[in-house]
Structure 1
């Protein structure tokens, strides 16, 4: 067996694997003998089918199977030598690869694989390189808005007599004909909810304001709400039908509900932060500030990752074997062939960032230990719980969840290994470059 590398240019190469009958015949014979041991055919006892008969029936298929396995092993072993550093996986060059002939043919067979080579480049960074680290400005107004939102979320829905702009109503709706009469076999929903604030059309909204229980309102959902998804939910119809619908409906008011905010008192404090013994509104705001800071830390780090990625990919701009990688993405079914050009720019940035991270890690002898991977999984889990305002999950619980994820989810370890490396490189960057902390309003932060 011979394995030869032919470099086409700095980013592309061909790997040729030449195998002879001496390489594949012993494997074929061994497999056919195994087939014979287990073969059950009419007229023969188990394991007593003549070898020649087995060979005639299964020989060509076994030859193809064993040769493909042998070639795959040879390519894998060659890549482990480290003589070539590739992106993606080897792709067979069908035009240059010999066809596997029948069992009686003992010619040498050449398999040719296209390789995409990892580019060679330097990463030169110093304090002269400036990367902003954006942080959200937690203003008094932001805290007060948060307090108000908490009071709203913990409020009660009370029955009221007359519709106001902030109310929610339950009503029955019936489709009308062109003369304003109930349409026979038309759309009917005996119980649906409408948020008055969701009515975009001012004239339609005005029809509802001031109405009382059992009163009726004539309105056109397409003009009033405009959003086909909301109309479909309101009328219990398909979205496609909602998009085509343009007629009046009669709404009969059944209930009028108004959200009453919870009072800002110790009852609310205990409900939101049980066990913290918060007594005053000022202490409540301090607890909110602390929680927002903790939550924002992940947002700040995520934004820094985004900012650093953009800065370094544009500054270094490592070249890629683009045509090879496009083909690899299609062949591995990650992207449909007719979509590859449309999405390539995003994939290009992902590949560039990945190899920049690897280069910085290699240049600075960054080591990724098993504990780093475990902590990165736990970090993901903390963020997930934080979305539900759950902050007190025991570390032991997070560890057990991380072990379960790494052991059960396919490719999880490799994924989190890469994320752990990324984390370490980002921390290293903060030491190497000039990180400029920049406090911005919350809206500006998410629009950066």
Structure 2
């Protein structure tokens, strides 16, 4: 057997494997003898058919199987010995596959494309600058959140006279009779300058208006029509009120506090404000930490200047997902894939160089945190903790063990990022919610 490597570029190459008869024939002969011992062939007692006959019947398929197995093991062993890091899987080159004479040929030659990166050098010697953000809560955001909660747990009523923020249920008709629709109109969607038309109404009252001028946003979804239909809703329409719906805000009492956070967890309006502020800050800061971490990853990738084999990887992605994605989809999604791959390579390199490992105990604890977050608003509390080991075990065993491996990788990434932050020049910055939203949008 002869294996040779031909580098076409800094990150792509081809591997050529030449096989002669001595490489594969002993295994083929042994397999055919084993077949002969077990084969049931008409005219012969079981296991008594001549090897020559078995060879004529099964020789070619056995030869192909043995050569494929030999190629796979030889190529994998050869690539493991190299200093570079293989990406994706080797891609066989099939240009001359139809010219192979499996019955008479004794020597064979096969080629594979490979993509790789050479040894990665990650420099963490104080050159990495990063910002760690934290969100400052303002009173308006907290007040709005509490109002939404009171509305969510409030009581629906049907008053006689309409007011702002009510819902008017009724019939919308065009003047020419070409359109008619019954729907619930939230007055919060009405333009302020037109609001006086809709306040003070009672059942049976009729309002005339142009929907395109009065409903300030989401006209199609508000009325419940398609975008094409909504474009035609200009001109004079009438709306006949069938009913008025209003949500009375839930009272700020112990019953309301217990519904939100569990029995006895909050016992005053001040406690409610503090708890809501705490939850909102935690949620905002979790998102901004993810944003900050992504920015650190981007800077590491940029500073490492990793040269990925783009042409090879696109071809490999297309073949690895044969029939599931198109060439156009691969082109579109490749930048995201390349970014994730580059970070994975860098993270693994940092972990290896600095002996950073994800321990089983870390995986268990991270899984517990995830489950607590998922059930945070359920109010289960002590019941959840009592069954936590069962939840963790079921999750980590799920998806044929892939959940455990994904959590293991996540833990290692967390540890790598923590290590990087210790080495980096990280500046702390407090930002408003408006600035937070602006950062995430960009």
Out of 306, 317, 329, the position equivalent to 1:329 is 317
Alignment partners' CA distance in 2, 1:28 and 1:269:
80
Q: Distance in 1 between matches of 2:251 and 2:187?
A: 24
> What is residue 409 of structure 2 aligned with on the other side?
418
CA distance in 2, matches of 1:243, 1:29: 76
Residue 308, structure 1, aligned to residue 296, structure 2: yes
**Where does 1:403-442 land on structure 2 (aligned, <5 Å)?**
403-409=393-399, 411-442=402-433
**Take 1:158 and 1:208, find their aligned partners in 2: how far apart are those partners?**
18
Distance 1:358 1:257, change over 3 A: same
Q: Are positions 1:287 and 2:275 aligned together?
A: yes
Shift of 1:427: 0.9
Given that 1:317 and 1:352 are in contact with CA atoms closer than 8 Å, whether structure 2 keeps it comes out as no
Q: Provide TM-score, normalisation by structure 2.
A: 0.81
TM-aligned CA distance change 1:101 to 1:282, over 3 Å: same
Name 1:262's counterpart in structure 2.
250
Alignment RMSD, CA only? 3.9
1:74-93 equivalence runs, <5 A:
74-81=74-81, 83-93=83-93
CA contact (8 A) 2:32 2:59 kept: no
Distance, in Å, in 2 between the alignment partners of 1:107 and 1:201 is 87
Aligned 1:378-389 pairs, distance under 5 A:
378-386=368-376
d(CA) in 2 for partners of 1:262, 1:442: 27
The 5-angstrom pairing of residues 339-350 of structure 1 reads 339-350=329-340
Paired residue secondary structure (1:269): helix
Are residues 1:357 and 2:331 paired?
Answer: no
User: Corresponding residue for 1:445?
Assistant: 436
299-308 vs 131-140, greater mean Cα deviation: 299-308
Aligned to 1:194: 185
SS at match of 1:367: coil
Q: Per the alignment, in what secondary structure is the counterpart of residue 292 of structure 1?
A: helix
- 2:359 maps to 369
**CA distance change for structure 1 residues 22 and 393 in 2, over 3 Å: closer, same or farther?**
farther
SS in 1 for 2:115: strand
> CA 1:332 to 1:245, structure 2 compared with 1: closer, same or farther past 3 Å?
farther
Q: Which stretches in structure 1 are left out of the alignment for 5+ residues?
A: none
Structure 1 position 428, deviation (Å) = 0.6
Residues 32 and 199 of structure 1: CA distance in aligned 2, closer, same or farther (over 3 Å): farther
Unaligned runs of 5+ in 2: none
Equivalence for 1:104: 103
Where does 1:13-162 land on structure 2 (aligned, <5 Å)? 13-25=13-25, 26-27=27-28, 30=31, 34=35, 37=38, 60-81=60-81, 83-95=83-95, 98-99=97-98, 101-127=100-126, 129-162=128-161
Shift of 1:214: 3.3
Question: Would you say the 8 A contact 1:36–1:54 is kept in 2?
Answer: no
1:54-77 deviations in Å (ceiling 9; x for gaps): 666665455444433432333334
* Counterpart-to-counterpart distance in 1, 2:397 and 2:128: 40
Alignment of 1:393-412 (within 5 A): 394=384, 397-409=387-399, 411-412=402-403
Give the Cα–Cα distance (whole angstroms) in 2 for the partners of residues 62 and 157 of structure 1: 76
Measure how far apart 1:281 and its partner are. Answer: 1.3
Q: Which residue of 2 aligns with 1:180?
A: 176
Q: Which moved more, 1:278-287 or 1:22-31?
A: 22-31
> If the length of structure 1 is used for normalisation, what is the TM-score?
0.80
How far has the Cα of 1:206 moved from its partner?
A: 6.6
CA distance in 2, matches of 1:234, 1:159: 22
Q: 1:314 to 1:104 in 2, by over 3 A?
A: closer
Shift of 1:85: 1.5
Q: What is the number of equivalent residue pairs in this alignment? A: 433
Please say if 1:317 is aligned against 2:313. Answer: no
CA gap 1:408/1:132 in 2 versus in 1, 3 angstroms:
same
CA distance in 2, matches of 1:67, 1:387: 59
Q: Secondary structure of 2:224's partner? A: helix
CA-to-aligned-CA distance 1:138-164 (integer Å, 9 cap, x gap): 233333333222222221221122333
CA shift at 1:2, angstroms?
3.8
Other-structure match for 1:171 = 170
Q: Distance in 2 between matches of 1:76 and 1:406?
A: 30
SS at match of 2:100: coil
Give the Å deviation of 1:363.
2.0
Find the residue that maps to 1:355 and give its secondary structure: helix
Question: Offset at 1:443?
Answer: 2.5
- Distance in 1 between residues matched to 2:167 and 2:47, nearest whole Å: 77
| CA distance 1:336–1:402, shift in 2 (3 Å) | farther
Instruction: Give the Cα–Cα distance (whole angstroms) in 1 for the partners of residues 230 and 55 of structure 2.
Output: 64
Distance 1:146 1:249, change over 3 A: same
